Amino acid sequence: MGFLALCGLVVLAASSLYSTPASAAGKTEGVPIGDLVFRPSVNVVLVYDSNVYRAQLNPEADFGLAVRPQFEFVYPGENFRWELSTYWRGFTYFNVNRGPGINHDDLRLVNEFGVRTSVDLNRTGKFGFKISPQLYNRPSSAGWGDGDEDGARAAGDNVEQDLGVGVPIAIALRPTGAFHIKPGGEWNWARSYYPRRLFDPDPVVLGNRHEVSGKLGVDWRFFPRSHIVFTGQLGRILWGPYDEDTAQHGTDPQLPGTFFRALLGLRGDITKKVSFMAMGGYGGVYYGEDNESSNLTGPDGLLARVEFALRPVLTQRLALGFRRDFLFRYFADNIAETQGYFKYSGLFFGRLAPNASFSYTYRQIQGWLDRQEHQWAAGGGIKVIITPWLDVAVDYRFSAVNPSSDDKGEYIDNRVTLRISLGFDD
């Protein structure tokens, strides 16, 4: 009854007044409540996964079900915008092929949630300010997933969880309409742990990562459709208490370090149908004189973000891109990723929204887990928009990760999802 009541609430809200307050600057769709806009939604996802544990040997397949309700409130003012959203997600596999030693109940999920708020002040003035704190508990992306964090969470394929907090802060300086400066900072904390119990006073803590950084962004529109852009970041990664000598990171300590990124480039429109972004730069991670072998320096510090996009018509978009960056996880000092990708999205008759993608990622993992990975991912699907607040989507995704450090084979996964979305879900 609880789930049916929730769906009924979403239908009632979605089928009522479908507009925003007259003072709203944007096109935020939802149910007006005074000056606020209420945006309820619920997603129901049926999953078939050919390799629920992302195993190299003896993969286990299963069917699963995920339910994800979300509630969001928005004040969509022209010069002031406030958002508050919260969600919960439950997931279970059905153990279709249950047999000796086969039981996927450890992947059952009842405690994923997220709460986020955002305050955006003086959006049209010379001086603006924005803060967007969030709190979450969700399956960790630390395992060998498919590189798509949202997709990995949708399948519930990791026994580890992340309890985390993120607090990004940004100041907007707009001396002119064409020249913007955006200094800011961010604090991120994530504790990776297992098992995934709702309340566990003493879980096994795999990592306790803190990232504190300052940021700077510059955007100068020097032609009507061309921008010079710069992004920079300087930060520190720190590690809190964790359970040592676990199988996930051996006896090697998790090292504190200093990191930076700096990229400069162009973005704009070549023609009305062709746009581009091309940024290049350098970054690095330093762990001190006693741990120089773990540093990310030299050619490994080269960074890039490149994308060319084509819109043959307004409702169709094709993009080719390349990126190179680094990230941190508890099982490695740092991970450098190089990726090339293709993406397509479209809309036909205002109802049918197909998509397709392909990517190749080369991953250099340095730390206790020291190896290189080659990952291929491809997929496609179609969404049928039945009403503005109801759609049905079918997607297929293939992923293969080939670790070059062993000869056991690839982590191969095929996943098919059927998703029903009810309400106002971006």
Q: What is the pLDDT of residues 176-196, one digit of tens each?
A: 999 999 999 999 999 988 876
Its pTM stands at: 0.86
How far is it, in rounded angstroms, from Cα 407 to Cα 332? Answer: 21
pLDDT digit string, tens, across residues 370-399: 889 999 999 999 999 999 999 999 999 999
How far is it, in rounded angstroms, from Cα 87 to Cα 69? Answer: 6
For domain 2-423, say whether CATH 1.10.287 is its number: no
How far is it, in rounded angstroms, from Cα 328 to Cα 208? Answer: 12
How far is it, in rounded angstroms, from Cα 333 to Cα 237? Answer: 10
pLDDT value at position 369? 79
* Residue 148 pLDDT grade (very low, low, confident, very high; cuts 50, 70, 90): very low
How far is it, in rounded angstroms, from Cα 145 to Cα 401? Answer: 8
Least confident of 61-70, 132-141, 194-203: 194-203
* Residue 157 pLDDT grade (very low, low, confident, very high; cuts 50, 70, 90): low
Ranges 90-104, 248-262, 296-310, most confident: 296-310
Quick check: 56 and 27 in contact, CB under 8 A?
Answer: no
pLDDT value at position 198? 64
* Residue 404 pLDDT grade (very low, low, confident, very high; cuts 50, 70, 90): confident
Residue in this structure with the two tokens 């169709």, named with its chain if needed? 316
Q: DSSP labels for 251-311?
A: TPPPPPEEEEEEEEEEEEESSSSEEEEEEEEEEEEE--GGGGGG-B-GGGGEEEEEEEEE-
How far is it, in rounded angstroms, from Cα 238 to Cα 245? Answer: 19
Q: Is the pLDDT of residue 247 over 80?
A: no
pLDDT value at position 141? 66
Residue 405, Cβ neighbours under 10 Å: how many? 11
* Residue 367 pLDDT grade (very low, low, confident, very high; cuts 50, 70, 90): confident
Q: Which of 86, 74, 79 is nearest to 34 (CA)?
A: 74
Q: Is the pLDDT of residue 5 over 90?
A: no
pLDDT value at position 368? 78
Tell me the residue ranges of DSSP E strands in 50-197: 62-76, 80-93, 109-121, 127-131, 134-139, 161-176, 179-194
Least confident of 54-68, 144-158, 236-250: 144-158
Q: What is the DSSP letter of 15?
A: T
pLDDT value at position 21? 42
pLDDT value at position 408? 64
Domain spans in the chain, listed from the N-terminal domain onward: 2-423
Quick check: 129 and 122 in contact, CB under 8 A?
Answer: yes
pLDDT value at position 361? 96
Rg of the Cα trace of the chain?
23
Type of residue found at 173: L
pLDDT value at position 381? 98
Region label for 156, one of left (φ > 0), alpha (ψ between -120 and 50) or beta (otherwise): left
How far is it, in rounded angstroms, from Cα 52 to Cα 63? Answer: 9
pLDDT value at position 17? 47
Least confident of 74-88, 139-153, 216-230: 139-153
